[in-house]
Chains A and B, each alone.
Chain A
Amino acid sequence: DAGVTQSPTHLIKTRGQQVTLRCSPKSGHDTVSWYQQALGQGPQFIFQYYEEEERQRGNFPDRFSGHQFPNYSSELNVNALLLGDSALYLCASSFTRQETQYFGPGTRLLVL
Chain B
Amino acid sequence: GQSLEQPSEVTAVEGAIVQINCTYQTSGFYGLSWYQQHDGGAPTFLSYNALDGLEETGRFSSFLSRSDSYGYLLLQELQMKDSASYFCAVILPRWGNTPLVFGKGTRLSVIA
Contact = CB atoms under 8 A, between A and B. Distances in A.
A100 interface: yes
A58 B99 contact: yes
A40 B43 CA distance: 13
A99 B102 contact: no
Most buried by B among A4, A40, A96: A40
B109 to A, nearest CB: 15
A56 interface: yes
Interface residues of B, number: 26
Chain A interface residue count: which class?
A: 20 to 34
Interface in A19-36: 31, 33, 35
Nearest to A103: B42
Nearest to B48: A99
A48 B101 contact: no
B97 A98 contact: yes
Contacts of A45: 99-101
Interface stretch (B53-61, B63-71, B88-96): B88-96
Contacts of B43: 43, 90, 103
Contact of A96 (B97, B104, B105): B97
A41 B33 contact: no
A97 B95 CA distance: 8
B98 interface: yes
